[in-house]
Chain A
Amino acid sequence: MTEPLLQVEHLTVTYETRQGPVRAVDDVSFTLQRGEVLGLVGESGCGKSTLGMALLRMVRPPGKITSGRILFQGRDLMQLSEKEMRQLRGRHISMVFQDPMTSLNPLQRIGDHIVETIRVHEPKVSKKEAWDRAAQLIQRLGISPDRLKDYPHQLSGGMRQRIMIGIGLALNADLIIADEPTTSLDVIVEAQFLDLLRELRDEFNLTMILITHNIGVVAELADRVAVMYAGRMAEIGPVQPIFHNTLHPYTRGLLASVPSIRLEDGLELETLSGAPPSLLEPPPGCRFHPRCPQARPVCSEKTPPWKEVHPGHGTACWLYAEEEA
């Protein structure tokens, strides 16, 4: 196997609040190969968006990356200066945000968004050239180049989300992080947008982290799936095994809440009861144990270790780890 594009090791993000520190991302590790699409799923507030921002080193204060390493193309992002980091953003790692309505500057023309981004990273490109590139690009995205002169409010939500993707593509970013890109789109537009993403993935060999709470989107696009719960990684694996040979009870619960996903025969439908815990005072041991139908005494005492059950498919759950006590 070649060197992975992205390697996250024991990443922890802590928010300092008046009530004390909150670990929104707690000791998370995973890798991402070039050309791979990783679906990052979990309930809202599980830390998946924070993780996305952390990869750009853009966690908002009072949040801070308190430990861990982010190796991108072999370079540790934590060691880069703010300037080097800025040059990386947009050019090598690009981000698509949840709400296309608010993530474009209302007073800047669509074209200028793209041109500005190109010229920030490639100062030698003339305005004219950048504009032409932008025109070609959005044509590929199925938008007429005339629309470059429009202001964001003149475009539909779907168009704007395509523009956001386009800004990422404009510089051939190595990694695109899409944070809930379809949540605010209506169903038909969402379907179109997902089709486009799939096409782009194949055409540009995109590497992408798709952050979503919608497991259906993951099923359609992702090669691998990472499931987060209460700031911790619960399960990571290729998409088929995750869906058909689910390990972690939480993943099972998530899948059960999506009726369109066919479950293996003989597996009972389980619904998740209760709400995710407060990260301020997380439950001891496995954080899922208060809601887990298969909880055992050890689950409330010790944090389960990470265990690779099958090659490339691992989980943190006492069901698969040998007890040492």
Chain B
Amino acid sequence: MANNDKELNDYLKGNSELSEQYRQSNTMEPSAHVDKTILSAAREEVTGRRYRSAWTVPVSVAAVVTLSVSIVLTMQEETGQTIFNKPETEMYDSAILAEEAVLQKKNVPEKVSTPDKIGNKTTKDADIQVMAPAESAAVEGYRIDKNEIHLNSEVDAIQQESQDRAVEFSRSYKKNDIVPEKKRMEARAKRKTKDSRQTIIKEQQLQSEPASSPAAITADSEYYLDDELNENLVNFHQQELINIKMLWEEGNFTDAKLAFDEFIKNRTDVTEDTMVQVLGSDVYQALNEM
């Protein structure tokens, strides 16, 4: 024990061989990464910034990316469309903006189905040509669509009116009360100076081409040059022929023949070509041969 105490006291004096050997053999130090981390933490503690470990930034970036992708995918799933791919919407918006800009600049009314508006068509086309190809195409399509909707509604109205008059005519014919209506229409026809044949052909062209091209817009505008009386007369003649054709197709050949003869007798201004176009060549020929 006394020997151990002597060893301990010698050792505690600090000059022992044991201490010398230990100090020579142990010189390990922490890594540079640990040094940097600790010194940064000490600095940030003083400057008030929060201490962050080496993984803070990578984990934060990964979290932000994951969250962003999740939000985008969720939005796509909910809306059912691709968020970053909407060229149709953008083109439609551009077309509307361009159209509104042109209309505002030229102070042109919105409808293009009147003669005045058609008269400005050349100017509008020039404006569209100045635009980018995609925009001008969009504007043209947008304008044609608008005209088509407008013309279709007009044609529907005319057809409805013609059908109503055809029903009235049929009833009058069956009651042998066709004369008053006939005389009334003849009086209107006398005031009409324009060739009704041309008008009928144009109306038929309008029906066969439902305003899907600029040519249709032109035909439509010329059609609206006719006055209401001419329009009604043409419709009446045409509807009479249609009614005769319906009687024929229903098998009422006698009634069809009687109506046809009456029509020939009283409608001397309706040409043979017009009747052939409406009735069809076979029906027209059969009615003549009966």
Query: Do the two chains belong together in a single complex?
Result: no
Residues of B within 8 A of A (CB): none
A residues whose Cβ falls under 8 Å from a Cβ of B: none
